[in-house]
Structure 1
Amino acid sequence: MDDDTTAPTLTIDFCGERHVCTPGSTFSVGRDADLCIDDNRYLHRRLLEFERVSGMWWMTNCGQSITVGVATADGTYQAMLGPAGRMPLVSSPLSVVFSAGPFTYELGVIPEGSSANPAPDAVLSAPTSTDTALSSTLGATTFTPSQRLLIIALCEPMLRDGMAGASRIPSSAEAAARLGWPITTFNRKLDNVCDKLDRDGVPGLRGGVGKLARNRKSRLVEHAIMSRLVTPTDVALLDAGQPREIAP
């Protein structure tokens, strides 16, 4: 147990407004929480919780559908924390980014000392998010070359700039222009990609029978990045020219 009088605190910075988390209590972030981000109805009442347990600060994603991106200021460490995921916070300041509906938010998380500094590759807790559990299923999904290019085009900002690109997911028109396709071709292929992943059990890509989810592009990008369906080296494929096959 920490001595609450001497244990280091944790600072949450949102738009220049700083909130200090103290050991012995839980600090929540969301639409109706200790830190009220926004009255955005797409934002969970409580999305994140911060608490000090076993000598270190932890962040828990207590939402049901929003994936949170985490990165160091220099971009050397990046991770995605899905719903029900939990991670210890390293000593260096972190940027926490998440989207709710059409809006993207960013928090600064500043641990002021820590009794342990886990290595970056050990930061994520045991697989508890739906995305992590479905990684092997996604890996078995077969995409045509042009469908794969579509996914790369949507993920390009994050593949190039990490979490800094999370708020710059291309519009359908922008991605279609990047690929040199008519918008009708792009939309048909996006439908096919989302249908494939939906059949494989990936959630959030459809809003019911015959109705595509409003934020399916954001959800597709989150899933592709977290499951490593695409990697930064794939960006070169966009500059190599589109494949002859574009029908599916």
Structure 2
Amino acid sequence: MTAATVFSGERIYCVDPAERLFFGRSAECTICLDAEDTAISRRAGEIVHERGAWWLVNRSSAHPLSVIDEVGLRSVLVPGRRTALDAVTRIVVAGARGSHTLRVEVPEAAADRAAESATPAGDPTAVGENVLISQADRDAMLALFAGYLEEPPRHDPHPRTYAAAAARLGWPRTTLVKRIEYLRTRLDEAGVPNMTGWNALTNLAEYALSRGLITKDDLRRVRRDR
């Protein structure tokens, strides 16, 4: 069993399975985020190896932690709860003087990434083999959902407006709307749930990210092409 690796700014911490890493306001923590920011708990959280797995534990009695998974989806870890760390994970600790981001890599994550890179990337979706995702579909989703893929503090787990996304692509707004609506219709007919209704755009974002239809590599490619 090799160590987990935690990145905090320019600092790197290797955590042996027999060790515990604490982070928070206290100078006694392994990672002291900001000793003068009383909006951060003295012990905000802990990274620990137990029962054969790595865990993030919220040690605060009052403040939640934001957890961003490897595809950019954000969840909230409430005080006293824990979540397994089985992939590259970012932990955001909010304070009155700013937010702090920790990046955690565990040994299993490296194996997962290697397995994923060895898997051919195909166009059929996981549900509905006859639904093909074109490059124009990917470009439209990337423009709408790029905030999910950004690193903190630019990470924004909400779709952009159609107008803002269309301007990013240089498309008419109506072109983008029609392409996304047609994509949602095809996915819905193929059995993908929650592709219609008031929250359909957010559900499409989560589906696209969880299935790897758009990735951080796509975001980097777009930046290189500019």
* TM-score normalised by the chain length of structure 2: 0.49
* TM-score normalised by the chain length of structure 1: 0.45
